[in-house]
Amino acid sequence: MTKTYVIDGAEVTDLESFWRVIGEAVNGTGGYFGRNLDSFADCLRGGFGTPDDGDFVIEWRDHELSRRALGRDETVRRLRLRLERGHPLNRAAVQAELDEAEAGRGTTVFDWLAQIIEERKPGGLRLR
């Protein structure tokens, strides 16, 4: 039987709150299910609180609230942090992505998360 983990989109106000909300949805209060995009992708492969057989979906309720919270402003903020903290060899690519975001183009943090879920768990995301 497929296990469903529910995210309340109203609780997702930025990327940091997403990590808390998804961690608690999967593993209860204070639970962990990634704290960056790479670790989140790893968790989706299984073994971090999800069923051993990998039979689960993430149901993102009120996802439009999250889509707005994780939209352009949050994307610009995250890319600026990545630019500050990232490896010098990656700076040109991050700067180009930041320029696009500041111009109102390109993917958003919400898109990044949805894409990771779909790549690691095809069909594993239900937007409500």
Question: Residue 86, SS3?
Answer: coil
Q: Which helix (H) or strand (E) holds 8?
A: strand 3-8
43-73: per-residue pLDDT in tens? 998 888 998 888 999 999 999 999 999 999 9
Q: Read off the tokens for 17.
A: 């709150």
Calculate mean pLDDT across residues 16-24. Answer: 98
Whether residues 93 and 112 fall in one domain: no
Could you give the angle at the alpha carbon of 69 between the alpha carbons of 75 and 103, nearest 5°? 35
Whether residues 11 and 25 fall in one domain: yes
Which pLDDT score, from 0 to 100, does residue 53 have? 83
Whether residues 57 and 96 fall in one domain: no
Closest CA to 23 of 42, 38, 43, 2: 43
C-beta separation of 111 from 74 below 8 A = no
How many Å is the Cα radius of gyration of the chain? 15
Q: Read off the tokens for 108.
A: 């958003």
Domain holding 46: CATH number? 3.30.370.10
Whether residues 35 and 98 fall in one domain: no
**Residue 101 structural domain:** 75-107
What ranges in 8-71 are assigned the alpha helix state H? 15-27, 37-44, 63-69
Percent of the chain at pLDDT exceeding 70: 100
Calculate mean pLDDT across residues 100-120. Answer: 97
